[in-house]
Structure formats: C-alpha cells, structure tokens
Amino acid sequence: MGLLIKSAGEIWSPSATMLSFFKIGVLGGFTTFSSFSLDAVSLMDQGDWVGFGAYVFGSVAASIGGLIVGMELAEVIFP
C-alpha cells in the first residue's frame, strides 16, 4: 500500500476513483478486517488472552510497519 501511494504520483497519475479501486478493491482483498476480527474474537472466546493480545498488537504493528517500509521503498525507487 505504501509503495502504491508514493509511486502513484511519480510514475502515473491515477484518478481518485482508480486509486481507491487499487487501495481498497485490489490490495484490500488480500486481507480483510472481518477475518482479523473473527480470529481475534475466536482467541478471546477460547480464553487465550495472551494469544489475543499478541495477535491484535502484532497484526496492527506489522500492518503499520509494512506501510512504512513500502513508503520508504518508494522513496528509494522514486527519489
């Protein structure tokens, strides 16, 4: 996502609709918030509070970290 956002203005100029299509429709299709929520609630229902906390924190941290890495990569590729 980070690479897409940073490169959108560098190598092509998509319309807002096209950019939303790629961000939400294409990239959003790989992971969905609903499956994340289901997995988190399943851990909660099982009473696995450590697993629940690790899963929620780890997923959010990895997501934000991945976005930052993608944006930094775009800076290197498209200075």
**73 Cβ neighbours under 8 A, 6+ residues apart:** 2, 3
Collapsing DSSP to helix, strand or coil, 46 comes out as: coil
User: What is the value of pTM for the model shown?
Assistant: 0.65
Percent of residues, the chain, with pLDDT higher than 90:
41
Mean pLDDT of 27-43: 80
pLDDT number for residue 30 = 67
pLDDT at 68 over 90: yes
Other C-beta atoms closer than 10 Å to the C-beta of 4 total 16
Q: Are 43 and 51 in contact (CB under 8 A)?
A: yes
The confidence score (pLDDT) of residue 49 equals 98
Classified as helix, coil or strand, 30 is coil
Residues in the chain: 79
pLDDT value at position 31?
A: 64
